[in-house]
Each structure stands twice: as structure tokens, then as C-alpha cells.
Amino acid sequence: MPIPQPIVRPPAEVRDTRRLTRLITEKSLELSNTTSELTAELTRTYQLNVMEQKKARRELRIMRIGHKAFVRNVRDHFGIKCRTEEARGLFLNWLEDECLAVQALDTATDEDD
């Protein structure tokens, strides 16, 4: 029985996939539009096929779930307990540390493509 060989994608296709991921990331921040609306816009603009549409919709949903989790975490730390200047200062220090940690994430290691 022959050993299956991995399918090698041409470099242009890999670049297009990464570019699409960046575009999806930017679109995910357009909170006034639904995931379906953003997927439709990406499909019209970049002529996505059915598989690319499904991938785009899935990635948009995942990113938006991440946004919600981050906001929930922020709200959990802010809340009623931040009524004094000292508490606000502590919250802002925590928020800055969280934002720096997110910015420092090495997303290149997450790319399995």
C-alpha cells in the first residue's frame, strides 16, 4: 500500500490564504455587521468559492467569540468595585498588562498551513 504524500500548495496559494486570514481578522472588528453580511461582502469582493466562504464564516465566528471572551474578562475586572481612583488605577494597570500580553502573542506558531 503506497504511503500518502502531503499535498504541496504553491506559494501563491499560501500567500492568498494568509492574506484572506488578515482580511477576515480586520472584518471581524466591524461589529455593526453580522457574520453572514461580512462573509457575503468578502465573497463579493474576493470571489470566494464555497469552501473559502465556509472557512471565512467559521473564522469570523471564532474571532468574534474571542472578542466576547476578552470583553467579558474586562467587564469582570471593572464592574462596581472600581469606584475609587485607586481601584480605577489598578484596573487600568491590569488592562494595560492584558493588552500587552495579547499583542505579544506569537500567532506565527499557530499557523499550521
Burial of 77 (0-12, 13-18, 19+ CB in 10 A): middle
Residue 5 domain-assigned? no
Give the Cα separation of 3 and 20 in Å (integer): 32
Residue 111 domain-assigned? no
Residue 1 domain-assigned? no
Q: What is the pLDDT of residues 18-76, one digit of tens each?
A: 788 888 988 888 889 999 999 999 998 888 889 889 999 999 999 999 989 988 888 88
Please state, rounded to an integer, the average pLDDT across all residues of the chain.
Answer: 81
Residue 40 domain-assigned? yes
Residue 41 domain-assigned? yes
Question: For residue 25, what are the domain limits?
Answer: 11-106
Give the Cα separation of 15 and 84 in Å (integer): 50
Give the Cα separation of 81 and 98 in Å (integer): 19
Number of domains making up the chain: 1
Residue 2 domain-assigned? no
In which band, very low, low, confident or very high, does the pLDDT at 14 lie, cut at 50, 70 and 90? very low
